[in-house]
Amino acid sequence: MTTTRRKFLTSGALAAGAATLAAPAVHAQSTIRWRMQTYAGGALGEQVAKPAIDMFNAIAGDEMQIDLFFADQLVPTGELFQAMQRGTIDAVQSDDDSMASPTEVRVFGGYFPFASRHSLDVPALFNDWGLNEIWAEEYASVGVKHVSAGAWDPCHFTMREPVTSLADLEGKRVFTFPTAGRFLSRFGVVPVTVPWEDVEIAMQTGELDGIAWAGITEAYQVGWADVASYFVTNNISGAWIGHFFANMDRWNELPEHLQTLFETCCQQSHYYRQHWYWAGEARLRTEGTKLELTTIPAEEWATVETAAREFWDEIAAESETKARVVQIFKDYNAAMDRAGSPYR
């Protein structure tokens, strides 16, 4: 009757029972392993993908690890969506357009002409103007989790020959995104598709006359500045729209804290690119020695922007969902115009 609670808990019978109950927790669970492929080749992936995945793996430790693969290492970029949907790949970093998304929002991925002027426009559009909800609905309907959207660099021409007028673009074979190519073909550009890793060689051999895939930061980072001579300061979009995605079943299997960790690391990736690109675009325009800057006159370039608004209306007529997105772009840009500097 005078046995203390401490003695009772440490007595042989109860201690044995406690050990039995605790046994499952002693055995380490298998580490969750994911495979993720990015649209980016190795040189670019070192900046736009690897830091976030390294951070995730360091924090998750034995609980979960993500193996990162660069462009086309597991599947061609154009098959990324299907591979993720099947579960061959657990997660993807890409724009909707490049990975051949079957959703209604595919056309807006990458560079939708003049949808943005600055990189901050992208997170504003998704987090404050309703695009996140539309993307979540579209991807959930096809078994994919849309984790988050972020901005990359603006879309400029990096060319082998100087471009100082729209006429200089006619007949030029340019590596670009599907929707951007569809738009630029109105000005005589010939869109060419080659594997991302083959772009540098295609520029050297003359298969390509130029690239409309990136800003000047990427041109230097991935080696394109070594095989081109000119950089056109006009752009058709202020920021590339890219995303992190995951197979929905794999996502739902994760405990909530690992879902939150993945989302947090993706957001850190978006933040890192904001300043990496923003600083890089200015630094390499002013200090870079490999590319000569050229500009198409503003009054002539204004006709491209006018054509882009016509292009928006054509896209909006294709479906109700596309019309919703286009209307958000219209409303947002109108608000930014009214706000004035520094927004527009």
Instruction: Please tell me the predicted confidence (pLDDT) of residue 196.
Output: 85
Q: How far apart are CA 189 and CA 168, in angstroms?
A: 9
CATH topology of domain 155-239+287-339: D-Maltodextrin-Binding Protein; domain 2 (3.40.190)
Asked if 210 and 123 count as a contact pair (C-beta separation under 8 A), the reply is no
Among 3.30.420.40, 3.40.50.10310, 3.40.190.170, 3.30.360.10, name the CATH number for the domain at 31-151+240-282. Answer: 3.40.190.170
Asked if 239 and 156 count as a contact pair (C-beta separation under 8 A), the reply is no
CATH 3.40.190.170 location in the chain: 31-151+240-282, 155-239+287-339
CA distances from 220 to 5, 98, 224, 277, 286 (A): 70, 22, 6, 12, 13
Instruction: Please tell me the predicted confidence (pLDDT) of residue 275.
Output: 96
Q: What's the whole-model pTM score? A: 0.88
Instruction: Please tell me the predicted confidence (pLDDT) of residue 160.
Output: 98
Q: How far apart are CA 111 and CA 181, in angstroms?
A: 10
Query: How does DSSP classify residue 30?
Result: P
Strand order in the sheet with 210-214: 190-192, 173-176, 210-214, 155-159, 230-237, 292-294
The one-digit pLDDT tens for each residue of the chain (344 residues) are 344 333 333 444 434 444 444 444 444 579 999 999 999 999 999 999 999 999 999 999 999 999 999 999 999 999 999 999 999 999 999 999 999 999 999 999 999 999 999 999 999 999 999 999 999 999 999 999 999 999 999 999 999 999 999 999 999 999 999 999 999 999 999 999 998 889 999 999 999 999 999 999 999 999 999 999 999 999 999 999 999 999 999 999 999 999 999 999 999 999 999 999 999 999 999 999 999 999 999 999 999 999 999 999 999 999 999 999 999 999 999 999 999 999 99
* Side-chain-facing half-sphere of 225: CA atoms under 13 Å: 20
